[in-house]
Amino acid sequence: MSSRISALKNKINRLENTISFKNIKAKEKEIMELKQKVNCKEEDIANLVDGIRRTSRELKDANESIVTLNTNIKSSEDKKIKNKIKKLFVS
């Protein structure tokens, strides 16, 4: 009877070891999947940061263009006003 109990205990130990090994493998797989997700998220964040930088540069360029256009418009309006004044005095 004690040899049978011993055999059952050994079988239980082997099953526990197998279950533990499977649990460890499952956890390792889960960890690897999570690491891959983190890497993907980091890439997404890096791409977003690059996009923000690009957009920021484009916005800065657009603002500079607007300032230049405003200056040109003002200069053009000043010339038109001067020409109208000249025409008034010449006429």
Q: What's the whole-number mean pLDDT along residues 18-40?
A: 94
Strand (E) or helix (H) holding 74: helix 2-90
- The reported pLDDT for the residue numbered 91 is 64
How far apart CA 86 and CA 91 sit, in angstroms, is 8
pLDDT band at 83 (very low <50, low <70, confident <90, very high): confident
How far apart CA 42 and CA 35 sit, in angstroms, is 10
Residue-range domain boundaries for the chain: 1-91
How far apart CA 26 and CA 38 sit, in angstroms, is 18
- Which has more pLDDT, 81 or 66? 66
Q: Which residue has the tokens 């001067």?
A: 82
Q: What's the whole-number mean pLDDT along residues 71-83?
A: 87
